[in-house]
Amino acid sequence: METRKLGTGGLEVSAIGLGCMGLSFGYGPAVSDADGVALIRAAYDQGVTFFDTAEAYGPGANEELVGKALAPVRDEVVIATKFGFANGRPGDGVDSRPERIRQVAEESLRRLGTDRIDLFYQHRVDPAVPIEEVAGTVRDLVAEGKVKHFGMSEAGIESLRRAHAVLPVAALQSEYSLWWREPEKEILRACEELGIGFVPFSPLGKGFLTGAITTDTRFAEGDFRNIVPRFEEENRKVNEALVEKLKSLAAMHDATPAQIAIAWLLAQKPWIVPIPGTTKLHRLTENLGAAAIDLDASELAEIGAALAAIEVQGTRYPAAMAALAGR
């Protein structure tokens, strides 16, 4: 697989990474350790060198799984993890106090079984802590050799600029896909100006863009899509129009809707690195196949025209969760 660079500090990763959250958290019951390790190692065998986890996924369980799976190839991969939630639990609110950042770093290093964190993201901006203090704390961790690169997640432009002035931000991770294009308004331009890479999470719309989710789909207990307005039954009925368009484009490429959705992201900028997640080996191979699909200008224009005619229904988060984004 080809590689891409995130930021200006020499961070180079596979063009498609693996979002590991769903193996342990967020989408119903966790997979077994054996199955999780097998999937992560299969991703590496297929060219993935960029793996995304966080303290909050478990909490801690996902980091332990990722560390175990990647231990044999640790020096050949980039591991990204995150700090920023009180007690490692999103429901407990945000906490980016310097002492908390240091605590998370030490605990993440232990769980991952490594001596450095390749990319350390602030998971959500903490309005109670000046972003300069956050960046300064990570800068100190970089000086100590415990962290290699600094990232932010779902941050707004002002926070991004202020942090970047203290310590170069290698990557901004935010949601971006064919059904959530908010970053196109301002964020992508700011990233290009500052030399910051962009890492889209949920590039497949939390699974919706695969075409496997219909109005009849029922999610498992504990799957957070049960509380996401965009996945309410009436909204799903309307949003299926986007998937139908993807299916017609996919047929022209002998591809799947998921592959077209990821290829579309890759075509936007050479410093965009999507991190689709999955618990299934066949879906992993399918997603990574998007790296071989080149959409030309006319096809991108066709997708753009189709998107302009479709108004996606439903917000991407419940109100309480949405309030944490874009600070």
Q: Which residue has the tokens 């962009």?
A: 198
SS3 166: helix
- Give residue for tokens 């175990």: 68
15: nearest Cα among 3, 27, 29: 3
Kindly name the residue from 27, 44, 57, 121 that is annotated as catalytic: 57
Of residues 170, 168, 126, 125, the one with CA closest to residue 273 = 170
To 5 degrees, how large is the angle CA 148–CA 155–CA 164?
Answer: 50
Rounded Cα distance, 189 and 234, in Å = 34
> Is 121 noted as a catalytic residue in this protein?
no
DSSP letters, 171-221, are: EEEEE-BTTB-GGGTTHHHHHHHHT-EEEEESTTTTTGGGT---TT--PPT
Whole-angstrom distance, CA of residue 236 vs CA of residue 276? 21
Residues annotated as catalytic (active site), given as ranges: 57
